[in-house]
Amino acid sequence: MADDKEVEKTIAEDLVVTKYKLAGQIVNRVLEQVIAKCVPGASAREICEFGDKLILEETSKVFKKEKDSKKGIAFSTCVSVNNCICHFSPIPSETDYILKQGDLAKIDLGAHIDGFIAVVAHTVVVGVEEVTGRAADVLLAAYLASEAALRLLRPGNENYAITDVVQKISAEYACKPVEGMLSHQLKQFRIDGEKSIIQNPSEAQRKEHEKATLETYEVYAMDVLVSTGEGVGREMDTRCTIYKKTDEVYQLKLKASRMFYSEVRNKHGSMPFNLRSFDKETSARLGVVECVNHKLIEPFQVLYERPGELVAQFKFTALLLPSGTHKITGLPFDKSICKSDRSIKDPELNSLLNSSAKSNKKKKKKAGAEEAMEVETAA
């Protein structure tokens, strides 16, 4: 446990809010540039490498005077296409994916400043100006579910209220949220805080997953993943490339594993990392095996829906401040490009979506320009 003198830093401190918002601005700028690269014929691997390089460049420019301050990638850039649900970020020795016109590409990435994490995900349809059919259904379902979730991310609300509304909106578009996916509370240097919001839980998951009430000064990474299919992720033969150190302890036997684990600890700490960030890919691939077998490091598996199905994702980071919920990551989504025969009929859901998502109290005197990303409009 932390020493008594090590008080947990929260967004009750102005400097912490500044660091979160700065990380959020970086993440949004990087996301815009990554989206611009998602064109027919582009390599998913090269887009991922480009995103990670940008995050490192951008974070290196801020808080230079804080010599001991760690900053950089909080989640490696992923480009997961069509029925690939998440975490596709291949290393050079693995099979690449070349984007095609009409592909549904989910871009997922994150940055941190001094351990204060901002993450984001956005779905684009490659090289297409109008989206129809099931692609339109799943995009609208995921986007509107994320907008509804934002409106419920308020102190005093329960996590299961968000679970239920994501389920209902997905159903209006004949889609399902991906089962068991979690949106975590964020803490300093921790991407998976204690509280979480679960999507589409199975009976067993519903029993295990704890109810929680949202509180002021908490931060959440709200991640909505919706599928045209049954909403169950499965591993295929795509090799995992993103991992994270756990708090487990074990004496590693192999020299390669010890060297790898030492580099993980020193370079990444408890942040997720990609094997791509290691100079010697072969050594990293060798070293990670024993670490995973003994739970020193956990994998972020590449998951898939059934072939032919489509998955859309929208993720944003939100600060629950006394002045309201501040959405610090996420780009506008033009839902008018989606031509769907389906729409939300439930008056309660429409009422929620038409309510304001903006801060609900007077802005503090210095909030000014940094209030920018609250949420553009009501859906």
User: How is residue 109 written in tokens?
Assistant: 């990435």
Alpha helices in the chain (DSSP H): 14-37, 44-60, 133-152, 159-172, 203-208, 255-267, 281-293, 347-354
| Distance (Å, whole) CA 278 – CA 306 | 32
**Taking a C-beta distance cutoff of 8 angstroms, is the pair 327, 146 a contact?**
no
Share of the chain above pLDDT 90, in %: 88
pLDDT tens for each residue of 285-319: 999 999 999 999 999 999 999 999 999 999 999 99
| Distance (Å, whole) CA 253 – CA 291 | 10
**pLDDT at position 378, please?**
33
pLDDT of residue 5 exceeding 60 = no
Q: How many CB atoms lie within 10 A of CB 323?
A: 14
* 8-16 long-range Cβ contacts below 8 angstroms, 24+ apart: 8/187, 8/188, 9/188, 10/217, 10/218, 11/217, 11/218, 11/219, 11/319, 11/320, 11/321, 12/217, 16/116, 16/188
pLDDT of residue 360 exceeding 90 = no
pLDDT of residue 220 exceeding 70 = yes
User: How is residue 46 written in tokens?
Assistant: 């090269």
pTM for this model (two decimals): 0.92
Give the residue-averaged pLDDT of 316-330. 97
**pLDDT at position 3, please?**
44
Give the residue-averaged pLDDT of 314-332. 97
Nearest to 77 by CA among 113, 101, 106: 106
**Taking a C-beta distance cutoff of 8 angstroms, is the pair 192, 184 a contact?**
yes
The pLDDT confidence band at residue 367, using thresholds 50, 70 and 90, is: very low
**pLDDT at position 115, please?**
95
**pLDDT at position 65, please?**
80
**pLDDT at position 69, please?**
81
The gap from C-alpha 354 to its chain's centroid, in whole angstroms, comes to 25
pLDDT of residue 374 exceeding 90 = no
Q: Residue 23 phi/psi, 5° resolution?
A: -60, -40
pLDDT of residue 135 exceeding 70 = yes
The gap from C-alpha 92 to its chain's centroid, in whole angstroms, comes to 23
Non-local (6+) Cβ contacts of 171 within 8 A are none
Average pLDDT score, the chain: 92
pLDDT tens for each residue of 244-264: 999 999 999 999 999 999 999
Strand residue runs (E) in 296-342: 297-300, 303-304, 311-321, 324-327, 338-339
The pLDDT confidence band at residue 67, using thresholds 50, 70 and 90, is: confident
The gap from C-alpha 334 to its chain's centroid, in whole angstroms, comes to 20
pLDDT tens for each residue of 143-176: 999 999 999 999 999 999 999 999 999 999 999 9
Q: How many CB atoms lie within 10 A of CB 29?
A: 14
